[in-house]
């Protein structure tokens, strides 16, 4: 699945991956910023809880958005691929200012939404200016190349990551979440060794990347984002490493950015503030 090409990327809506466990009660900075980007409290938000196996996940986010002050927030209970073909759901997305995908299991998102009218509508509307946020599994699902699972650890290895097609909102990034909390540096490096044209985004919990039209990003939240840039990768042993063996990567650039930090995709430059 490739990114939508229905319009110039400068007109595209924000892509907002969140590392999971975002603050929801005392200072919901990330959710407040998402609502602001979507147009404020009069925005219409579509909540997609497909990744979660908990029945109340979507309803809890609906209550949360309404508590923050959003007047129009609705849960789209997309449980099956047949659900994703129903006009009532695509029509709501057509009229929405933002889509929010909850956490859970990203394979539930890819196998349920992938290739359906709902996925196509989200991609087309994002290309035309609608904003899309996702937390945890919802974040991993956003790019063309999705990290579906993998092992913990800092050193890359050929069998450390499982990849699958994602939603395809961008092919410039590969996204991982709960990054520092679950020691996922190695699996993101492995994913980039397989796809060295992309830039890696490792999201700590309660931390989001607000990726603007044009794919420049800003960090929002209480943690950090690890940016891994393989543009100048000069050597990789991935092609000869066996299962379980460590992989050597030379000339990979790494940045750690906290709230207010920025990264420009075209220039590949990072800024602390």
Least Cα distance to 234 among 253, 219, 221 occurs for: 253
Task: Note if 205 is an active site residue.
Answer: yes
Its pTM stands at 0.96
Q: Residue 255: inside a domain, yes or no?
A: yes
Beta-carbon contacts of 105 under 8 Å, excluding residues fewer than 6 positions away, are 51, 52, 53, 137
Residue 133's alpha-carbon distances to 98, 122, 139, in angstroms, are: 8, 11, 7
Report the CATH number at residue 209.
Answer: 3.40.50.880
What is the span of the domain harbouring residue 67? 9-271
Residue 10: per-residue pLDDT = 79
Please work out, in degrees rounded to the nearest 5, the angle formed at the alpha carbon of residue 234 by the alpha carbons of 229 and 239: 100
Helix (H) or strand (E) holding 59: helix 57-68
**Residue 1, domain member (yes or no):** no
Quote the number of domains for the chain: 1
Closest CA to 172 of 7, 19, 15, 6: 15
Q: In the sheet that 199-203 helps form, which strands lie side by side, from edge to edge?
A: 173-176, 199-203, 224-229, 253-258
* Choice among 110, 136, 157, 236 that is catalytic: 136
Length of the chain: 273
Residue 4 confidence (pLDDT): 45
Residue of 131, 145, 178, 255 marked catalytic: 178
**233 within 8 A of 250, measured Cβ to Cβ:** yes
- Distance, in Å, from the CA atom of 44 to the CA atom of 125, rounded to the nearest integer, reads 13
Specify whether the CB–CB gap between 100 and 76 falls below 8 A: no
**Residue 88 structure tokens:** 């009532």
Could you say which DSSP state residue 85 is in?
G
Residue 2 forms part of a structural domain: no
> Does residue 257 lie in a domain region?
yes
The answer to whether residue 3 sits within a structural domain is no
CA 234 to chain centre: 28
Which listed residue (22, 62, 205, 218) is catalytic?
205
Answer yes or no: is 220 within a domain. yes
Q: How many C-beta neighbours within 10 Å does residue 2 have?
A: 9
Looking up tokens 């899309």 gives: 132
Dump strand ranges (E) for 77-229: 98-101, 131-135, 145-150, 161-165, 173-176, 199-203, 207-211, 217-221, 224-229
Spatial distance between the Cα atoms of 50 and 104, rounded to a whole number of angstroms: 8
Any domain includes 46: yes
CA distances from 158 to 141, 143, 183, 186, 246 (A): 21, 21, 17, 10, 8
∠ CA 142-148-134 to the nearest 5 degrees?
30
Residue 217: inside a domain: yes
Q: What is the pLDDT of residue 98?
A: 98
The pLDDT tens digits along the chain (273 residues) read 444 444 456 799 999 999 999 999 999 999 999 999 999 999 999 999 999 999 999 999 999 999 999 999 999 999 999 999 999 999 999 999 999 999 999 999 999 999 999 999 999 999 999 999 999 999 999 999 999 999 999 999 999 999 999 999 999 999 999 999 999 999 999 999 999 999 999 999 999 999 999 999 999 999 999 999 999 999 999 999 999 999 999 999 999 999 999 999 999 999 999
């Amino acid at each position: 699945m490739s990114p939508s090409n229905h319009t110039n990327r400068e007109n595209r809506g924000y892509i907002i991956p969140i590392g999971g466990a975002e603050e929801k009660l005392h200072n919901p900075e990330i959710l407040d910023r998402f609502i602001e980007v979507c147009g404020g409290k009069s925005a219409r938000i579509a909540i997609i809880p497909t990744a979660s196996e908990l029945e109340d996940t979507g309803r809890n986010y609906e209550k949360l958005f309404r508590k923050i002050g959003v007047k129009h927030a609705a849960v789209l209970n997309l449980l099956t691929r047949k659900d994703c073909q129903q006009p009532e759901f695509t029509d709501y997305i057509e009229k929405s200012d933002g889509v929010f995908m909850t956490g859970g299991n990203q394979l539930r998102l890819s196998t349920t939404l992938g290739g359906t009218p709902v996925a196509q509508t989200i991609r087309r509307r994002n290309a035309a200016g609608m904003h899309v946020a996702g937390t945890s599994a919802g974040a991993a699902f956003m790019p063309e190349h999705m990290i579906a699972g993998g092992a913990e650890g800092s050193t890359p290895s050929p069998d450390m990551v499982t990849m699958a097609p994602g939603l395809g909102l961008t092919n410039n990034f590969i996204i991982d979440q709960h990054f520092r909390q679950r020691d996922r540096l190695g699996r993101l490096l492995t994913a980039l060794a397989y796809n060295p044209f992309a830039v890696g985004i490792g999201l700590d919990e309660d931390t989001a990347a607000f990726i603007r039209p044009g794919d420049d990003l800003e960090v929002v939240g209480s943690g950090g984002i690890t940016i891994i840039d393989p543009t100048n990768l000069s050597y990789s042993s991935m092609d000869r490493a066996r299962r379980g063996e460590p992989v050597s990567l030379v000339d990979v650039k790494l940045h750690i950015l906290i709230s207010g930090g920025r990264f420009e995709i075209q220039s590949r430059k990072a800024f602390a503030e």
